[in-house]
Each structure stands twice: as C-alpha cells, then as structure tokens.
Amino acid sequence: MEIGIDRNGDIDSWKEVQLVYNSALKQISTKLEILNDEFQHVHRYNPIEHIKSRIKTPESIVKKLKKHGYESTIDNMVKYVNDIAGIRVICSFTSDIYQIAEMISNQSDIKVISVKDYIVNPKASGYKSYHMLVSVPVYLSDRIENTKVEIQIRTVAMDFWASLEHKIHYKFEGNAPEHIREQLVECAQMVAALDARMLSLNEEILHIGQQDDRE
C-alpha cells in the first residue's frame, strides 16, 4: 500500500476514508433492499436478484491514480477515484435495470452525478451494464460527508459474461489473444439475445396472468 504510509495521520485518514465509504455502501444497500421489499408488496415481484458491494483495495486505487498521472494521496484518491465504493445490483430482466435506476434517482437524498448506459452503447468488448455515479450523505458525529458510490446494474446473464471477461483480462493483463476476444464478443451477442428472449417470455407470462385475473 502506497497511500499514507509515511505518517500516522495519513494512516488514520485512510481508516476514516474506509469508514465513510463503507457507511455509504450500507446506506445504498439498505435503500435498495427497502425498495425491493416495497416492489414485492405492491407488484408481487422482486426486480433485484441480489446485491454485491466492495471497497476498492489500496493497491488498485494507487494503480488507478498512477495511470492518470496523479500523486498517491488521500485527497487525490477521494477526488479522482470515483469507484472506491462500488455496488453491483443483479436483476432478472433488462426492463428491471431501468426501473431500479429510476427508483434510485427518485431518492431525495441521493444525487446522481453521472450515468453511463453500456446497454444502449456497449463497449467494443461486448460489455453491457448500466452505471450510475451517485453521491450519498454520510452522517458522522461532527459533520456530513457527501460520498461517491458507483452503482452497476445488470442482468444475471450480463454479470456472468462480465465475470468471465474480468478473469480473462487479468489472466492476460489486458492483452488476450485475438481469437479469445472475438469469442467474448460472440458470447456477449448471445447474452443479449438470451436477455431479449427471456424478457419477451416474461412479458407473455405476465400478460397471460393478467388475462386470467380478469376472468
């Protein structure tokens, strides 16, 4: 770890940063769980399959700062690294993604800083996901810290693909053989087709259910 190893004050600051970001993750996770419960109560359906959260490691933070030409300091870390606190929301269908994003945006104490829709505009690798960078207030004993959290929302199929791509990226240090990259793109296309078909099937099931309720 290269952040704050020279002075005890810096080490304390790093511990405090961890506390603040962990608190922000807890707040977002709790909000999502409550929204999911409410959705089940109103619509008898849970849009969220599961939630994963993590704090970026000091080593990854230092690597990212160096990549962008910044000195490894606590201030630079908080200012320039947007994904120190990350939360991944996994859902069943692509339609759920936008419902969840809207529910998050409607929370009065959450500020949406930016959105990247990699579903409408996938990356060249085939990566698909919906990214939101938000700020949430963390209430400490002597102050309020508005803290950034990156939220990624994706389907189960998208998450499966992204997990494999992540492993391949680190296995080959970002330089995977061309035939593997091509196969990944093909798999991403298959995932997109599967998501579309599953969504269509689910909508048909819901439509039949609504007809049965009216009879």
pLDDT in tens, 188-202: 999 999 999 999 998
In a domain? residue 140: yes
**Cβ count within 10 A of residue 62:** 17
Taking only the tens place, the pLDDT of each residue in 23-80 is 999 999 999 999 999 988 988 888 999 999 999 998 999 999 999 999 989 899 999 9
Nearest to 46 by CA among 54, 38, 32, 36: 36
Instruction: Tell me which residue range forms the domain holding 151.
Output: 8-156
Please state, in angstroms and rounded to a whole number, the distance separating the CA atoms of residues 152 and 10.
Answer: 30
Domain count along the chain: 1
Residue 207: pLDDT above 60? Answer: yes
d(CA 193, CA 183): 15
Mean pLDDT of 131-142: 95
DSSP character for 50? Answer: E
* 179 domain-assigned: no
13 pLDDT more than 80: yes
User: Residue 17 above 80 pLDDT?
Assistant: yes
Find tokens 């798999």 and name the residue. 187
Question: Would you say residue 30 lies in a domain?
Answer: yes
CATH number at residue 151: 3.30.460.10
Average pLDDT over residues 162-168: 92
Residue 66 lies in a domain: yes
Q: Is residue 162 part of a domain?
A: no
Instruction: For the chain, give the percent of residues with pLDDT over 70.
Output: 93
Amino acid at site 169? H
4 pLDDT band, cuts 50/70/90, is: very low
